[in-house]
């Protein structure tokens, strides 16, 4: 049974879903392939219903936010999948049952297994509650996943002002640990902010973020 809220009529499916390829066949990669498609569809459908006004871009960003590895792994932990995984000795030793990627894959495989075991409706009924909390915590549709540079650009464009310009002030540090310092300049209102990051892109985002804060754009 596990804590998945689904009672398997074919327990071997559940077993396979929780078997990592390091432990030999039958492992969970094919089920994971199926579960990945299912979770994308179910989350898409839930967002579509929940946000009747949101456009495709907002829906796509929100879905990406909900189904990425770092969002699936905590759900797998809530279901205590780590302790139920079958891993090869190497993965056992290196703590594979705690690794985000392995947990997220197992969760997707479990979703595939529930679907094969009981069909789409039963699968959706078991799976959607796992995402309820994360879905409720999403920011409003127009704010999901828009990065600082995009938000700043839209703010300026909305006021018909010239676009922000970004300039590299300096880069320092060794090849593998470089630090970039960038300025972001606005003409109206006149404003210059700085941002630092381990890539030029990250530094530009930080500078844009600082500008948004100065302008008190939420």
What residue ranges in the chain does DSSP mark as E strands?
A: 165-172, 179-186, 191-197
pLDDT confidence tier of residue 1, bands split at 50, 70 and 90: very low
Binding site listing: 32, 105, 108
CA-CA-CA-CA dihedral for 116, 77, 133, 43, to nearest 10: -30
Q: Please state the domain extents for the chain.
A: 11-139, 148-214
pLDDT at 61 over 60: yes
Question: In terms of pLDDT, which residue wins out, 173 or 49?
Answer: 49
Question: In terms of pLDDT, which residue wins out, 34 or 142?
Answer: 34
Region of 216 please: left (phi>0), alpha (psi -120 to 50) or beta: left
Look at the block and give the residue holding tokens 């705690």.
98
3-state secondary structure 121-141: HHHHHHHHHHHHHHHHCCCCH
Q: Is 36 a catalytic residue?
A: yes
Q: What is the largest CA-CA distance in the chain?
A: 67
Binding site listing for Mg(2+): 32, 105, 108
11-139 folds as Ribonuclease iii, N-terminal Endonuclease Domain; Chain A (1.10.1520)
Instruction: Specify the pLDDT at position 88.
Output: 93
Q: Is 108 a catalytic residue?
A: yes
pLDDT confidence tier of residue 2, bands split at 50, 70 and 90: very low
148-214 folds as Double Stranded RNA Binding Domain (3.30.160)
pLDDT tens, position by position, 21-33: 999 999 999 999 9
């Amino acid at each position: 049974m596990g804590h998945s809220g689904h009672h398997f009529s074919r327990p071997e499916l559940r077993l396979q879903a929780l078997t990592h390829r390091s432990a030999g066949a039958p492992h969970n990669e094919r089920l994971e392939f199926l579960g990945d498609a299912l979770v994308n569809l179910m989350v898409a459908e839930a967002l579509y219903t929940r946000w009747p006004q949101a456009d495709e871009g907002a829906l796509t960003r929100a879905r990406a936010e909900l189904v990425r590895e770092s969002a699936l792994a905590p759900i797998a932990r809530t279901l205590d999948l780590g302790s139920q995984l079958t891993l090869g000795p190497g993965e056992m030793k290196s703590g594979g049952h705690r690794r985000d990627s392995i947990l997220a894959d197992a969760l997707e495989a479990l979703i595939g297994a529930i679907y094969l075991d009981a069909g789409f409706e039963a699968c959706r009924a078991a799976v959607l509650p796992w995402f309820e909390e994360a879905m409720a915590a999403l920011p409003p549709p127009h704010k999901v996943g828009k990065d600082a540079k995009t938000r700043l650009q839209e703010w300026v464009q909305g006021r018909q002002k010239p676009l922000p310009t970004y300039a590299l002030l300096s880069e320092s540090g060794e090849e593998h640990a470089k630090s970039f310092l960038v300025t972001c300049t606005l003409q109206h209102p006149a404003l210059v902010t700085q941002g630092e990051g381990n890539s030029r892109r990250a530094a530009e985002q930080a500078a844009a973020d600082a500008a948004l804060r100065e302008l008190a754009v939420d």
